[in-house]
Chains A and B, each alone.
Chain A
């Protein structure tokens, strides 16, 4: 009985391997990686705009934690990176601070910040996208929208993750000043959602691991994780980004994402 099972198992494996190996000869792993990325982007196109209430839970290696609260507005752009507006609510001393970002794939983002204590909008001219976001383990780079042009791709292998069949794809940032040398992403085959990302630092060591939890579907099409969990593998710190409420197509347009609006964004 046992041997029968394993023989049929092996047979299936061999057939699968042959089937997989045949197209692999005509398609390079780079091509396959790119195709997965394009499919991932295609499935997420057309969501328009969204508004979210979110918390960040920052934890030290010894388990102390602190919460930060914010609201995030996003606007989908067709030929460029998305636009984002983040309004900070907690801690109290940064309440009302608003951050506007036009993300770009291979150029520095355009960034403005409104400081209510100064009553002024400041443009931030920095090529850095990898600094800590609100002192968390997330860099701004990790939170900005997924764009195909941001990376070079390489399909690595198939693997199961959380019981789902998934592609494992290596992404190399095209942006020169990225904080990472590469990322390894697990994308499920059914919905092309990322479930896990490993970030590698400049010396090629594993720096951080991001896992996505509690995917919800919106507008019958778009999947969003309600919890992002980032663990720094080098210093033991971690941050959870939790979405409390998320609504799509709220009627935001480009007029809501300009410098003038920053001051009024409350």
Chain B
């Protein structure tokens, strides 16, 4: 079987290439089905309970996804004729935003006041042409005292003001809609920036967060993939010093990517912030396969073999290890299906497919290509192995000291890994270089965070919201929320009722309290609703039959732990204060907070399964239970040390990092397989542990060094992403892979020489 396959490749390379090209072309056509989804909902399964809660709340009240413009005047506060006029005009034009349903700003805030028995309802900035200092003073006074506005629409010091555009975007093709809205609003701001020089405009809100997801993914695809190709070319040239080898590897990588992305398209998987990096991962892993094949071939060529013989030799010794390492890597990726985040599961599946395709291509297309391409090799002594052998001798000499030293370092590192905690801060997914992050930071500094938590209070009975007891509970809860340190702003219907009650009593401040009968409350609401303009109704706060209200809390940009803790605290407080009311909390921030923890739990299960499967595969590959058990140390320790280093560097485990463990496991196992299989080979021939270690260093030391270098470079490229989920994933995986090499080169040999002195019985039997 194996020889038939090899003969075909070596004797009919053109035929192999033809079949390969046909397959790749057929697969590649599938790429036309690929489409990109950039909205944050790709992180959630359709039946995610927090997503369902959120959607239910959006349906009960109104959708409150928004694009937010923050205006910062050149100096001082916004209370000057020029800036107020700007806000007035921009508000008016903001209604033209595609999909917009509502615009809230200082200008169109519905200011109500009384003149005897007249209730006057007016835009706060009514007449921008007559803004004398009296009018401006009044606007300043009203807005800085209005709980609906302060911290939400106007900074407490007046130095920034917000125009909030609520949009109702179609769920279908949301990515395109997000881009349309984001571009439109940005263009609007730019035109006003020219008309009103000196003013700064910032854009935040869910629309811009969605856009940032899409933009970052696109940026990753545009910059990281070419950068990765360049890095690979450089590394290949440095390692192989062979034009043909480099070219052949490049061709295999490119065809692997084309075929993988094509098959991905056929399968109906879409591109997302996560899957857009699959090509980078696959490239990295495919290079390792090719390097093994080509460097063995070059080795044989230098020893004077002809091309067919050299390829035959290379295939012979590499087929099994490449298969095992590819399979373990694929298993690692496939266990990402345990993730509760659909796009991480997609990334796992696409990468697993890519890794297996890379294996197939590097044992078919690659040898066929090498066969037909011209190749010159200067016959020379192999010098390069020397360095690693010298290093191996050093390890052997000092193994008694190395074992405790490395053990202590490893123990400290593993201990540090307990510093880590699951924590997702959605805003911090974007690094400080991104426009979105700068805007969110500006907003947090001057007004509020951009995270919200919406609470819906259900009475279960039509009109019951107007009941004084219910209103009091709503008021108490709103006040409690305002007292919480993490809450920046609370939008509540209780404030509206208090204001109306005051207005209805001739603006007597004593009546700034809740109406004392259900009839009064209901009649206020009836009157008030009729006097509001189009779009500024109460549908976002009160549901159709007035049985429920939504309180919108604007929060600091917290981590997932704090969000879930806050949610629990709030619902518990309300359960004690008003047990008759049903309270639900929902928001995108809460969705991300929950998915982080949920995902970590399921990924730990996935990782455990990966460990069992991979260890099983190792037992099979090494044909030894004993070696299988020993292999656990170099397989697990690097992850422990890596997470320890992470604990010291950051300590925040986000969504992206939850999959690192199983992914890294599949990759680092390769080193162990190579090292232990060579060690076992020597031991099986009756050699001592020391000789076994020496042999392992001499035969695979350089290959391990080289593949680690390639992998670390690959993941370092990923860590350059300005999108933290991808960058952190790349960085930590890179660290773990580097640690794996250190463990295999320093700890494992010393461990074997100390604890594996007995002649292996299994080895003798063979």
Contact = CB atoms under 8 A, between A and B. Distances in A.
Contact of A125 (B118, B535, B537, B538): B118
Contact of B544 (A58, A88, A117): A58
Interface in A188-203: 201-203
B533 A125 contact: no
Interface string A110-122: 0101011110111
Given A118-B504, A131-B531, A126 B120 contact: yes
Interface in B512-546: 515, 517-524, 526-527, 529-539, 542, 544-546
Contact of A128 (B515, B517, B518, B533): B533
A128 B122 CA distance: 9
A202 B544 contact: no
A135 interface: yes
Given A93-B463, A94-B523, A140 B119 contact: no
B101 interface: yes
- A94, A99, A111, A130 pick with most chain B CB within 10 angstroms: A94
A233 B389 CA distance: 76
A131 B527 contact: no
B531 A64 contact: no
Contacts of A121: 117
Interface string B716-756: 00000000000000000000000000000000000000000
Interface string A163-202: 0000000000000010110000000000000000000011
A126 B503 CA distance: 14
Nearest to B534: A179
A91 B462 contact: yes
A124 B98 contact: no
Given A125-B119, A125-B120, A126-B122, A91 B522 contact: yes
A47 B168 CA distance: 43
Given A131-B530, A203-B97, A62 B120 contact: no
Contact of B517 (A117, A180, A201): A117
A150 B98 CA distance: 28
B90 to A, nearest CB: 14
Contact of B522 (A64, A94, A235): A94
Contacts of A64: 544-545
Contact of A133 (B62, B101, B517, B530): B530
Interface string B537-566: 111001011100000000000000000000
Nearest to A115: B523
B523 A131 contact: no
A66 B530 CA distance: 18
A132 B100 CA distance: 18
Contact of B530 (A61, A99, A180, A201): A99
A244 interface: no
Which secondary structure dominates where chain A touches chain B?
A: loop
A134 interface: yes
Given A128-B532, A139-B534, A203-B100, A117 B519 contact: yes
A216 interface: no
Contacts of B117: 120-123
A28 interface: no
B120 A203 contact: no
B534 A124 contact: no
A66 B544 contact: yes
B523 A66 contact: no
Nearest to A178: B534
B59 interface: yes
B526 A203 contact: no
A3 interface: no
A40 to B, nearest CB: 25
B95 interface: yes
Interface string A65-103: 010000000000000000000001001111001010000
B151 interface: no
A60 interface: yes
Interface in B435-467: 462-463, 466
A234 interface: yes
Given A66-B462, A91-B463, A132 B529 contact: yes
Contacts of B536: 131
A59 B546 CA distance: 13
A179 B156 CA distance: 32
A115 B527 contact: yes
Interface residues of B, number: 48
Given A91-B462, A121-B117, A61 B95 contact: no
B632 interface: no
Contacts of A118: 504, 520, 523
A55 to B, nearest CB: 15
Contacts of A120: 117, 504
Nearest to A128: B533
A179 B535 contact: yes
Interface string B77-104: 0000000000000000001111011000
Contacts of B63: 235
Given A122-B118, A177-B533, A234-B101, A117 B520 contact: yes
B533 A131 contact: yes
Interface in A119-155: 120-128, 130-135, 139-140
Nearest to A88: B526
Interface string B227-270: 00000000000000000000000000000000000000000000
B121 interface: yes
Contact of B119 (A124, A130, A131, A234): A124
A120 B60 CA distance: 33
Contacts of A139: 534
B59 A61 contact: yes
Nearest to A132: B537
A235 B529 CA distance: 18
Contacts of A201: 95, 534
Contacts of B59: 60-62
A127 B120 CA distance: 10
- B120, B534, B535 pick with most chain A CB within 10 angstroms: B534
Contacts of A117: 515, 517, 519-520, 522-523
Given A64-B544, A94-B519, A203 B96 contact: yes
Nearest to B522: A93
A132 B466 CA distance: 18
Contacts of A124: 118-119, 121, 527, 530-531
Nearest to A93: B522
A231 to B, nearest CB: 15
Contacts of B530: 99, 111, 113, 124, 131-134, 140
A117 B468 CA distance: 14
A111 to B, nearest CB: 8
Contacts of A97: 523, 526-527
B120 A202 contact: no
A122 B527 contact: yes
B741 to A, nearest CB: 58
Contacts of A125: 115, 118-122
A122 B504 contact: yes
A93 B531 contact: no
Contacts of A88: 526
Contact of A123 (B118, B519, B524, B539): B118
Interface of B: 59-60, 62-63, 95-98, 100-101, 115, 117-122, 168, 462-463, 466, 504, 515, 517-524, 526-527, 529-539, 542, 544-546
Given A93-B518, A122-B119, 17 more contacts: A64-B544, A99-B530, A113-B523, A113-B527, A113-B530, A115-B523, A122-B117, A122-B118, A123-B118, A128-B531, A132-B532, A134-B529, A134-B530, A135-B538, A177-B533, A201-B95, A235-B63
8 contacts: A93-B518, A94-B522, A113-B527, A117-B523, A125-B121, A126-B120, A139-B534, A140-B530
Interface of A: 58-62, 64, 66, 88, 91-94, 97, 99, 111, 113, 115-118, 120-128, 130-135, 139-140, 177, 179-180, 201-203, 234-235, 237
Q: Report the 3 A-B pairs with minimum CB-CB distance, sorted nearest first.
A: A179-B534, A93-B522, A130-B534
